[in-house]
Structure 1
């Protein structure tokens, strides 16, 4: 296994563990942990898209498995839960929009730090917006949990109610991922420089 493959596997394991722990909605120190799934797919697209074609379907499978285990653990049938409906399948294109956003950023980011951060913020905003539009819209129009009659006006109100919390949570986790990425990049450069000095 090459160094690059080892790094990708390590990144995947880190992302998978992060999603598993936060998607279960554990309580640490009496505070609810917010779901990092949206950030995981965005960062996965940035770090793993390209040669790691297996990563996206595996993360999708993990998300479904975690949901199944959590709902089954509550003694409920999987499809009887409030959050489950025919709209559930739309999580595939919703998460896909985050993955593609991260992948696009990885391919088009500028070399300088500040322009990269600025472009990253814009791409994250666009990706989260598309993901939210797909996931929220499909749930509103297809879920039996939403009271009828439905209307475009009520849907737009619903969109406004939940958009910022989803954006804030995703941006928070992506921010942590960005810091870790920067630290690991600097560490790799330092180790490379140290190795070069020893050779000389």
Structure 2
């Protein structure tokens, strides 16, 4: 499998995961929304493809939202979750992508030091994403009748653990797969070399 085909496979898996899970935001029957982890992992795994993959994943996320809301016989722009603040998801998800991409640029293989970098990049990216996504919704959606800094801060802290926990679970799975692939691939190459002798 070539490097390009591997990356296309990863992109396909991430897109399917987001498609399967994003409806959870609206219908509660899907697995928890993997969108935050998808953008972080995509930034890592697909670094260098951001000019076309990031917009593609954003279009997919918005398309899923439109489809789910339309199935509820509701107007997309009149839905509770969609307002002028909805566009805040673009920079918010961009920060997740940037966190994964930053990590990839410094990645040298599985190690304790890399685990520390992963944790740092993940925490900064998720907190920054929540700051933008939740902040734009709180201040600009029109849902909060009388917004205050104290109310915003409480809302930020109330929602952050859930989003972080879900993104962490999916990212941990992706990390396990990455480390496993790094450890298994050399062993497979060695087996093939020995078998050819």
Q: Name the TM-score class by shorter chain.
A: over 0.9
Check if 1:137 corresponds to 2:140: no
SS at match of 1:54: helix
| Deviation (angstroms), 1:27 | 5.9
Residue segments in structure 2 that go unaligned for 5+ positions in a row: none
User: Does the Cα contact within 8 Å between 2:43 and 2:50 map onto a contact in 1?
Assistant: no
The 5-angstrom pairing of residues 31-110 of structure 1 reads: 33-51=31-49, 53-110=51-108
| Deviation (angstroms), 1:185 | 2.2
Q: Give the structure 2 partner of residue 172 of structure 1.
A: 169
Deviations 1:43-97 (A, max 9, x none): 0000001146321111111000000000000000001110001011111110000
| TM-score in terms of structure 1 length | 0.92
Structure 1 segments (4+ residues) deviating >6 Å: none
Residue segments in structure 1 that go unaligned for 5+ positions in a row: none
Deviations 1:95-143 (A, max 9, x none): 0000010000011135451111111011100000000000000001101
Check if 1:24 corresponds to 2:23: yes
Check if 1:162 corresponds to 2:159: yes
Aligned length: 195
Q: CA RMSD in A?
A: 1.6
User: Does the Cα contact within 8 Å between 2:110 and 2:179 map onto a contact in 1?
Assistant: no
Cα 1:52/1:134, change in 2 over 3 Å: closer
SS at match of 1:53: helix
User: Does the Cα contact within 8 Å between 2:103 and 2:121 map onto a contact in 1?
Assistant: yes
Check if 1:186 corresponds to 2:183: yes
